[in-house]
Amino acid sequence: TGQGDPPDSMKGFWRYLLKKDLGARWLEGLRFAVFGLGDSGYQKYNLPAKKIDRRLLQLGAEIIIEIGLGDDQHPSGYEGALDPWLLSLWESLNKANPSLLPRITDIINPNLNYLGDSKIEVIYYSCNDAPPDSVVSDSKKLIERARLMSPALKFHSDGEPQYMLKMVTNQRLTKEDYEKDVRHFELEDPSSAISYQVGDALEILPSQNPSAVNAFIERCNLDPDSYITIMSHFATAEHEKERLQYFASPEGRDDLYQYNQKESRTVLEVLEDFPSVHMPFEWLVQLTPPLKKRAFSISSSPLVHPNQIHLTVSIVSWLTPFKRTRQGLCSTWLAGLSPNEENLIPCWVHKGSLPPPKPSIPLLLIGPGTGCAPFRAFVEERAAQSARESTAPILFFFGCRNEDNDFLYKDFWLKHAQDKGVLSLKEGGGFFVAFSRDQPQKVYVQHKIKEQSARVWNMLCSGAAIYVAGSSTKMPADVTAALEEVVRQKGGEAASGWLRKLERAGKFNIETWS
């Protein structure tokens, strides 16, 4: 989120640790170590890890080794910090209790005999002999059962999908020949309303490309229609074995990162690069990571669309360092779905980091690019509320590259900026756009904020809540600096402290993504 909030899986645990009746000796005798997974592109880098490290010390626990901070911006990813931190952890634990873990030499140079048995049992049937299973016909339960096979999800699973939604609209928002493809999707449950709020996110579990699944089956010597035989050994070619052992060593970590993470290689591609590897299928099932759900900010209001959820999605595509074109799995899959086909999309509604505002609170919204998604929902909801009650105005700053190419939802914003719309100047609001590439000098949302400093200050003085959404790179810091400058110039106050007070009051919220 960019605000240092704890991950969902940690929230209950963190709330418990903050209970006031826990004394300074409550965790006496407990030893612990913390490693944080973060991205220094975010303003509050690794804050949850730092907070839990401090809190455990406050409660009397004893630290094993200093906190480790993984950074996704590191040339080797978070593993650049994780590898030396883990080695230090194993050495500390080994000194404290040599019988607790294998010796360090065994960890650095593992013997395959230590692998033990696979935790997965695979039973093979021919296509005619498979016993009937009612779960197979229930897509929700089938997804839940498949995901529970993963050790990573066994103790933290959201269960079966809350909704199986149908795609009813797939509309390109950017110009057809423009390099960036941003889509407007409308997903629907035709039979019942969907329970969500503005500011929420929708998590989607995508499907794999069928051709990739077929290629994986073929590579693993699996015949989907008959009995399967699996070779029970690993690499047989000596040069492949040596390369894999090098990748697994501390010396090969950087090369492994370049080969694997930087190139975004799939499991199938790695197997194809090492054709002599014939891993037992049980181990493939156990080690292949489950598909991840992807979260998207919801861009519709339940007041207007009770049985639909709208999304604003950039279709992800990029070049790797070796100039290979890669595509985002979920966004590409969604873009390929035709409206009103029988495909059902597994979905979970997830509470977002942008709390839904009360109708009486003025809003200052900053959302360049697809950061406008949650604010389309805010404006849509405020417009619906204004038809039946008095509402406060909205001042919205949007940014894109060109007016002709990627002015997302242009007609929507302009409609609400006219006459008595919730974005209209007449009603005390406003809509201002920064087109960064339409003139020699680049113009961004922070420049528009400074240009409209009087309006911004008036909104803040009237009790406005600030919401920022979009890229986690420079934008949040630049926007915060622009707001601080407005506060200093117009109010003569200590700007950073003023904004921190707003944040503590729940009136300065940032949702960013990398």
Domain 363-512, what fold? Answer: Rossmann fold (3.40.50)
DSSP state of 298: B
The pLDDT assigned to 155 comes to 52
Tally Cβ neighbours within 10 Å of residue 343. Answer: 15
Q: For residue 408, what are the contacts with CB-CB under 8 A and spacing of at least 6? A: 173, 174, 182, 312, 369, 370, 372, 398, 400
The pLDDT assigned to 312 comes to 98
* Residue spans in the chain of domains classed CATH 3.40.50.80: 363-512
Mean pLDDT of the chain: 85
Question: Distance between CA atoms of 334 and 336, rounded to whole angstroms?
Answer: 5
Q: ∠ at Cα 233 (227, 239), nearest 5°?
A: 130
Q: For residue 115, what are the contacts with CB-CB under 8 A and spacing of at least 6? A: none
Q: pLDDT-derived band of residue 113, with 50, 70 and 90 as boundaries?
A: very low
Q: pLDDT-derived band of residue 153, with 50, 70 and 90 as boundaries?
A: low
Q: For residue 215, what are the contacts with CB-CB under 8 A and spacing of at least 6? A: 268
The pLDDT assigned to 228 comes to 20
CATH superfamily of 161-208+291-352: Translation factors (2.40.30.10)
Residue 344: what are its φ and ψ, rounded to 5°? Answer: -110, 140
Which CATH class, in words, describes the domain spanning 8-108?
alpha beta
The pLDDT assigned to 243 comes to 82
Give DSSP secondary structure letters for 139-168.
Answer: HHHHHHHHHHTSTTTSSS---S-SEEEEEE
Asked whether residue 431 carries a pLDDT value surpassing 80, the answer given is: yes
* Residue spans in the chain of domains classed CATH 2.40.30.10: 161-208+291-352
Q: Which residue has the higher pLDDT, 107 or 447?
A: 447
Question: Distance between CA atoms of 373 and 238, rounded to whole angstroms?
Answer: 52
DSSP state of 63: E
Write the pLDDT tens digit of every residue in 284-298: 777 777 788 899 999
Pair type for strands 294-297 and 308-314: unpaired
Asked whether residue 102 carries a pLDDT value surpassing 70, the answer given is: no
Best CA proximity match to 204, nearest among 176, 241, 145, 164: 164
Question: Distance between CA atoms of 465 and 4, rounded to whole angstroms?
Answer: 19
The pLDDT assigned to 107 comes to 58
Give DSSP secondary structure letters for 490-513.
Answer: HH-S-HHHHHHHHHHTT-EEEEEE
Question: Distance between CA atoms of 259 and 322, rounded to whole angstroms?
Answer: 10
* Residue spans in the chain of domains classed CATH 3.40.50.360: 8-108
Asked whether residue 301 carries a pLDDT value surpassing 50, the answer given is: yes
Query: Please, are residues 349 and 308 in contact by the beta-carbon 8 Å criterion?
Result: no
Asked whether residue 134 carries a pLDDT value surpassing 80, the answer given is: no
Q: Which of 97-111, 339-353, 466-480 has the lowest mean pLDDT?
A: 97-111
Q: At what angle do helices 8-17 and 47-58 cross, to 10 degrees?
A: 30
Q: Which of 17-31, 169-183, 345-359, 494-508 has the lowest mean pLDDT?
A: 494-508
Question: Distance between CA atoms of 159 and 153, rounded to whole angstroms?
Answer: 10
Any idea which residue has 């992807």 for tokens? 294
